Amino acid sequence: MILVTGGAGFIGSNFVLQWCNNGDEPVLNLDALTYAGNLANLQSLVGNTQHRFVHGSICDSQLLAKLFAEHQPRAVVHFAAESHVDRSITGPEAFVETNVVGTFRLLEAARTYWNSLEGAKKNAFRFLHVSTDEVYGTLEPNDPAFTETTPYAPNSPYSASKAASDHLVRSYFHTYGMPVLTTNCSNNYGPFHFPEKLIPLMIVNALAGKALPVYGDGQQIRDWLYVEDHCSGIRRVLEAGTCGETYNIGGWNEKANIDIVNTVCSLLDELAPPASRQVIHQQTGKKVEHYAELVTYVTDRPGHDRRYAIDARKIERELGWKPAETFDTGIRKTVAWYLANQDWVKDVINGSYRDWVTQQYGGEKA
């Protein structure tokens, strides 16, 4: 059995689904079900004895000790985290509590359990910590991409909290000899993505005739990684990664935010033409002919990093992994999934989420 934390969130749920589709090893899934955790993501596993869900927090040391003792997992895959930069700016304490304190308590529980093991079981145990490229800071236009040895320079409370958790994980390898692995990924996109993030927000707002808020000049550059590629990369690191090592997982797809938005609009024009859906621009009251008409530039967020880029050659060279999807194939699959799963979208967009979007973007012109 493996223990997955945060397995009802965006990346975690995709990982659990992929794990169950690729083998029969059981998964113990621990998730606190905060606003972005959603059991509907795992609906296809209802009745599947391979998957066992536990509602709880990684900050609960007693619960963690109980789960390790009862289920004796051979590995931990640690996704659980607060992960949205904008929310970390307005409410950083939750990020420190979950990402730093929670990771510490999970490490302690895992270390106690690992120390209780003997022989082959102890040698086989792994703790895989899933992190982000944002810990490396920002890049200038001509800077080389982030590698595993790039110095950390986090610029938001979110990335600082993830950097802290990375350092804790590293210290448990060097101090205690605990068999840890760390992955740092680029921006994920794909099914089950909570619609506060760029791509799902654009899809949801466009279909509703709402403004498509773009920060600043829209020229912030990110590397984009299809979530199922990310999950396959994590599985490969868990299978064959060298303990104590870090592996960057990227998609080799550097794109400016405004280009992402325009691509989404073009795909929606093709797959869900606004005329056929009678989409009305909520600000002007006019019929929308092309979704790009909804693009609205808003004041940039504080400390907004200009560019991230992942050099993923190490995982390809050492473990033979590389992404299966191009951005063109991955984004088409993503848009098609959201169009086919409108009930899922409606269920996750509750009142508190709508209030937060209004507060965060508010229609303010740059």
Annotated catalytic sites, by residue?
133-134, 158
Distances (CA, A) of 260 to 10, 129, 271: 19, 28, 16
Q: Which residues, 6 or more positions from 93, have their beta carbon under 8 angstroms from its beta carbon?
A: none
CA pseudo-torsion sign 119, 124, 127, 133: positive
- Bin 76: left if φ > 0, else alpha if -120 < ψ < 50, else beta: beta
Cβ atoms of 233 and 77 closer than 8 Å: no
Angle at 241 between CA 237 and CA 246, to 5 degrees: 85
- 224 φ/ψ angles, rounded to the nearest 5 degrees: -110, 130
Angle at 32 between CA 87 and CA 182, to 5 degrees: 75
Distances (CA, A) of 186 to 85, 178, 311: 14, 26, 10
